[in-house]
Amino acid sequence: MVILMSKNVGITTAILISIIAYLVNLFLSNWDISLGSSTLALILGCMIAYYIPNTEEGGKWMISMIMPIAIILLGFGLNLTTFFAPEIGLTGFFTVFSTALTSFIICYFVGKYLNLDIESTIALGTGGAICGNSAVVAVSPGLRLKEERVAVVLAVINLLGLITFLIIPLLSSILGLSEEQAGIWAGSVIHAVPQAVAAGETIGGEAMVIATAVKLSRVSLLVFIVPICALIGNNISKEKGEYVKIGSIPYFVPGFVIAAILSTWILPTIITDLLAIIGKYLLLPLLASVGFFITKESMKDTGGAILLVGVIATLSMLISSYLTIIILS
């Protein structure tokens, strides 16, 4: 009975937080402030968990039961043909891949040097390389990350995503980049789609179109990354000397890939857009639930290492993408 009540408290709190986050973000957008409702849900989940006890059980239920459904629905938001959009061009195409590769390589080697577990470094690398919150949420179950570790990775990704969103328009102006170059830079580095679009709009109309196209092409990489992370997760032992057999792939992995294929080539846009929107809204109570697990202990144990890896990877992404743009332009 106590566990059931605790679960209900957590679920109800997560839903209420998601509604508040959505309304607050809607209000802020009227002032041209783009934090993102998912980021706000994570922050509010972290804050409110300190004042409302017994939210963890409900948070665990949301993460275990709702997250796989949300991941599949997010697959309907992918369009695999975005790689060939004319707005991207060869420069944007190579910048996307060089930036993503930089994120994974830096996270892996710096994380290894700092004795950070491989699951966390991959999740962090995916968040930076692909699309922030959505990417971390999509790969974490396959990697079998604990709720506390997912929470810390998301906290770092959101902080760094906000910083890149704020500095890229400024740096583009200081460095004298053209609208096309600045749009590619924004789309290839900034984590969240709304923030990439908003940064592009700050730079100019052409930059906004290019930033959007480049950003969506990065998101499409998830169709490859999610299955790879599930395979990696199945081969990482949680107990010394014990390995999980390949073959027990979670159902949401093929579901996510099939959803992306259906969205790109088979189902009408009106249906896929609706399913993707539902998935996007399901992310809000999920991220609120993840916020319940951001504690002083979890931040103290691994927060410093994850933040350091994230900062180094983000700086490396900024530099590698900028150099690729300059060389190929």
Output the CA angle 302-308-311, nearest 5 degrees.
Answer: 135
Q: How confident is the model at residue 4 (pLDDT cuts 50, 70, 90)?
A: very low
Q: How confident is the model at residue 11 (pLDDT cuts 50, 70, 90)?
A: very high
pLDDT at 308: 95
Size of the chain in residues = 329
Q: How confident is the model at residue 272 (pLDDT cuts 50, 70, 90)?
A: very high
Q: Which of 321, 313, 47 is nearest to 160 (CA)?
A: 313
Mean pLDDT of 95-108: 95
Percent of the residues in the chain that have a pLDDT greater than 90, as a whole number: 63
pLDDT at 2: 43
Q: Which of 169, 233, 236 is nearest to 204 (CA)?
A: 169
| 106 touches 170 (CB < 8 A) | no
Mean pLDDT of 58-78: 92
Helices (H), the chain: 2-29, 37-49, 56-61, 67-75, 89-113, 118-126, 133-143, 147-174, 179-189, 193-203, 205-220, 222-234, 252-261, 269-291, 296-298, 304-328
Find the range with the poorest average confidence among 52-66, 198-212, 296-310: 296-310
61-64 long-range Cβ contacts below 8 angstroms, 24+ apart: 61/7, 61/10, 61/11, 62/10, 62/11, 62/14, 62/285, 62/286, 62/289, 63/147, 63/150, 63/286, 63/289, 63/290
Q: How confident is the model at residue 198 (pLDDT cuts 50, 70, 90)?
A: confident
Find the range with the poorest average confidence among 32-46, 104-118, 131-145: 32-46
Q: Which string of DSSP letters, residue by residue, matches 267-306?
A: S-HHHHHHHHHHHHHHHHHHHHHHHTT--HHHIIIIIHHH
pLDDT at 33: 73
Percent of the residues in the chain that have a pLDDT greater than 70, as a whole number: 94
Q: Output 195 or 22, whichever has higher pLDDT.
A: 22
pLDDT at residue 83 is higher than 80: no
pLDDT (tens digit per residue) in 201-245 = 899 989 999 999 999 999 999 999 999 998 888 877 555 455 555
Q: Which of 52, 23, 216 is nearest to 14 (CA)?
A: 52
pLDDT at 219: 92
Q: Distance (Å, rounded) from C-alpha 194 to C-alpha 187? A: 10
pLDDT at residue 248 is higher than 60: no
Q: Is 26 exposed, middle or buried (0-12, 13-18, 19+ CB in 10 A)?
A: exposed
Q: What is the mean pLDDT of the chain?
A: 88
Q: Tokens 């504690």 label which residue?
A: 295
pLDDT at 23: 94
Q: Distance (Å, rounded) from C-alpha 196 to C-alpha 190? A: 6
Mean pLDDT of 273-281: 94
- The CB density around residue 170, as the number of other CB atoms within 10 Å, is 12
Mean pLDDT of 315-329: 94
Q: What is the pTM of this model?
A: 0.90
pLDDT at 199: 92
